[in-house]
Amino acid sequence: METVIYKFIKNKRGTVGVVLASKKANGKIGLGWSRCNVTAGDKFNKETGLKIAAGRAEKGAFDPPPQSLLEPLAFMKSRAVKCFKGCEVEPIDYSIV
């Protein structure tokens, strides 16, 4: 069975721009994220954000997240461990390149 937890993060103006996801599949937990590039003129799309974040969580590995997402991802990881008891968390390299 596959289960996904999402968290939407708002900016200072109160608009959503980031989606975090933790996904349980086959006894493992993967984490993923998606961020709208507002400076490039992108508009946040909930469906697209959910799809990208869940896809990255399913892979279990992704490009290092921006520095601003390290704390929210750590929170999401601890939340997933509590929700998906007995599952192994996929290792993710949080180092910023």
CATH number at residue 30: 3.30.160
Residue 92 falls within a domain, yes or no?
A: no
Bridge partners (DSSP) of residue 23 are 4, 30
Asked which of 3-7, 20-24, 57-61 is least confident by mean pLDDT, the reply is 57-61
pTM reported for the whole predicted model: 0.80
Could you tell me which residue, 2 or 27, shows the higher pLDDT?
Answer: 27
pLDDT for the residue 25: 77
92: phi then psi, degrees, rounded to nearest 5: -130, 135
Residues across the chain: 97
Selection from 6, 35, 36, 10 nearest residue 20 by Cα = 6
Predicted confidence band of residue 61 (pLDDT cuts 50, 70, 90) = low
Residue 54 falls within a domain, yes or no?
A: yes
Predicted confidence band of residue 57 (pLDDT cuts 50, 70, 90) = confident
- List the domain range (segments joined by +) for residue 63: 3-87
DSSP letters for 11-48: -TTS-EEEEEEEEEETTEEEEEEEE--GGGT----HHH
Selection from 89, 81, 84 nearest residue 28 by Cα = 89
Percent of the chain topping pLDDT 70? 86
pLDDT over 80 at 97, yes or no: no
